[in-house]
Structure 1
């Protein structure tokens, strides 16, 4: 029965019904959007796929590779000198190690460290029970439902830095989120660094595509954080990709040494596609990945003992009929889980082999199925840093605006899951039973009112309403709803403050460096 405001006696409802109705009114008048509590670290244990015996066999195979086959450092005589002084066997550009030698060198690396944000509230910890999510990396193309698929520009790069900054589920600004192809190759690192440093306050990655670009990245960061601070704290990362199988080219190893000398984080990431850069089996891929990564971690420690490092990987399976790469496959996912265990035994933070990765050409069911499989294995295995957590499409060729938003919802849900749930007195809500009774709902109890904004994860684009309402509202699919969401986030973005003197110093640095360089487009 409805209440007649002119005749209160017309209300024949019971006192309990009147109380519930009043509380529902208070509920609806509150600020209803879900408040996402900050992630406070993994509470559920990591899943161990392999036994200690199996892990030891993989580690022994890594030692066999390093002893019998070795790793080549092409063109980097300084790296070869470091290894020679450490007692490795040098044959031309090939380096071999006695079993256990490289692991002993890696022991100098910290098991946990901080990456400092320009805003201290955005500082993250790598290692332990911490999980750090970051957007995709390296795509030359972007796509959205309005403009379609196209080459990425500096505007797109800036857009994704802003979106990552605005996303609570991402803790890191990323690196080359997309390749700004409208800027010369030799100059674009300057614009990318300027965007990371001014449009976001989260940790970020610098350039590694040439030694001078690595040094530029460090110098720009020093303008913001100060040299003394960076001598003692890591604020940025270098993505060192091994030229698998078993090769470090001079570009990557030189960049590794530059970042290590500056005390900044080095993430060493072999890239092994099973059957192409290494044998087919997950065990072989895991062993080769471990071997290649340990050598890079060891070099960082020889350059600067205690240099913060991350044991990374990027691996996938192939369609052996066509040669096309596949992502989210069970074999690749099992390899991810094994590598996380191996990284924990090595004693350094682990970057996952993937994130929300897919070979799909559209943000469709296949994309989300591939991505979900890869993300589950990554997070449940206990990885500390997850790259490509948002936006990845077409095997990494494309950053999709819509998939970025769809992935953010899944990131938030997974972070909520990793924290488990409480079993304290408040969680049981005993007071709510006294406010209501058998057969009555709990929606308007005090316990519900205390927790309704944080109790359940609330995705931003899911539609859980009835079919009729969905149809009346245009029958929008998830990717179409994601289009509206990323536009909304872009419109609501608020640029973080920066001292004008620092802003001017950064812009002057970029202008001066660009003036010293000819345009190089290839």
Structure 2
């Protein structure tokens, strides 16, 4: 494994120091692991889950609703299609995926230094997705706006441990539903130069994503070696669990697949309602749904990049509410990560999930209990890594900053143990000897600036100093931090001609149809 070498520095103003520490300037394009995977099943257990998934394909089937072309593609591939129910012969999905889906791919970013490698030994941390509400400790919970959306894109841009701009970070409900995707895409393109996600709520919105990406990337859109589009967009295609894909998701998947853009095929499961209550049953159903979706993408365009997704939450069997940070979803994650590696495709799961309504102790513990399995299990695309509150209903400003800090710690953990001559530090041990301290030795002086992960929001001072500084808790420090970041934000430069072309495209599209809330 080779560590990422690309580094980029933000504007000088972003390095100014505040009482809460400097706005970090160095950006890490993605994490590369140097520690082993944590695995919970042996060969026999994995083979059993795979067998059960194939049984679901063969005996139960997957519904592909409202899309005659999808059904015909499956017929032509040898599946048994009855109405909208597709039953795949045992091994068909496996063969379709392994014959053409890439094991790893590069998603392009506007700034090539921020390209991300998705798959293999790499982890890409991505903000939360799809929240209709936003929350901060000053104004409380409220519907998201375009200003909030822009703020979160800026915060993601300024967060070194978030390697991706994300997608629908929050819903800007002050804009018409059928046109807001244009403003969200433009925000990602204008206010960040990291990779981003596309719209999937209608096939036409997926087409808008592809066209705007084509404008943004210009000559870089086509790879001269293959004469195909480079993968510049990744998008979330959710199964409508249990065992169903609807026409909206299928239509968006076809648009992206034909343009060689990446699709994350994710069963969205609340175990107990949308899957069995057991880990093994949920894993088998997740694998069956995800493989059916990935195989479909390969039928549309062999070789189009896909990511196997798993979002499996437990639920309260008393109230029906989703729960997070519990052990059973962690076990599902570990199992699905192993299965993705065996299948030979990148894996998406995990994040920093919580049911808490506030950035409190519940939020911290549940998020940590999701983020650690994300790291140890080997997730490649960690959606929902920052900001998630209230089971995904709210995007939290303070939570965003707290989660980004934790993601930075996980990236340090993934680096593993430095066994270089400097890492062994034998020169320091020889210099200091028994009974002295290491603070003044040459090795410490040479390494102290980067010796340990430094959080910008934790407080490690004495009680007396903390008391004198205002007795701030973590959420209050995070509140000050996100405000400092936004105050010091400067947009990455965008070619004025490209900016003009993007705005012209948006204006033309918005004028082409009336506003609608669907």
Q: What is the TM-score normalised by the length of structure 2?
A: 0.92
CA distance in 2, matches of 1:421, 1:36: 21
Q: Is the 8 A contact 2:31 2:123 kept in 1?
A: no
1:427 aligns with 2:423: yes
Aligned to 1:330: 327
CA offset at residue 436 of structure 1? 3.9
Aligned to 1:170: 162
Q: Equivalent residue of 1:496, what SS? A: coil
1:398 aligns with 2:394: yes
CA offset at residue 491 of structure 1? 1.2
1:213 aligns with 2:205: yes
Aligned to 2:189: 197
Aligned to 2:64: 73
Q: Name stretches of at least 5 consecutive residues in structure 1 with no aligned partner.
A: 1-31
Q: Is the 8 A contact 2:38 2:377 kept in 1?
A: yes
1:97 aligns with 2:91: no
Aligned to 2:236: 239
CA distance in 2, matches of 1:146, 1:37: 29
Q: 1:115 aligns with which of 95, 99, 107?
A: 107
CA offset at residue 192 of structure 1? 0.4
CA distance in 1, matches of 2:483, 2:426: 43
Q: 1:339 aligns with which of 333, 336, 345?
A: 336
CA offset at residue 425 of structure 1? 1.6
Aligned to 1:452: 448
Aligned to 1:24: none
CA offset at residue 439 of structure 1? 2.6
- Higher-Rg structure is 1
Q: 1:228 aligns with which of 222, 234, 259?
A: 222
CA offset at residue 244 of structure 1? 0.5
CA distance in 2, matches of 1:111, 1:373: 28
4+ residue stretches of structure 1 with deviation over 4 A?
A: 32-37
Q: Equivalent residue of 1:320, what SS? A: coil
CA distance in 1, matches of 2:152, 2:503: 20
CA distance in 2, matches of 1:441, 1:491: 41
Q: 2:45 aligns with which of 54, 62, 68?
A: 54
Aligned to 2:7: none
Q: Equivalent residue of 2:32, what SS? A: coil
Q: Is the 8 A contact 1:117 1:203 kept in 2?
A: yes
1:499 aligns with 2:495: yes
Greater shift in the superposed pair: 292-301 or 444-453: 444-453
Aligned to 2:128: 136
Equivalenced residues, count: 490
CA offset at residue 463 of structure 1? 0.2
CA distance in 2, matches of 1:514, 1:306: 33
Q: 2:279 aligns with which of 272, 279, 282?
A: 282
CA distance in 2, matches of 1:490, 1:421: 35
Q: Name stretches of at least 5 consecutive residues in structure 2 with no aligned partner.
A: 1-20
Q: 1:249 aligns with which of 240, 246, 251?
A: 246
Q: Is the 8 A contact 1:243 1:249 kept in 2?
A: yes
Aligned to 1:12: none
Q: Is the 8 A contact 1:36 1:454 kept in 2?
A: no
CA distance in 1, matches of 2:279, 2:498: 48
Q: Is the 8 A contact 1:37 1:454 kept in 2?
A: no
CA distance in 1, matches of 2:90, 2:35: 35
Q: What is the TM-score normalised by the length of structure 1?
A: 0.92
Q: Equivalent residue of 1:238, what SS? A: strand
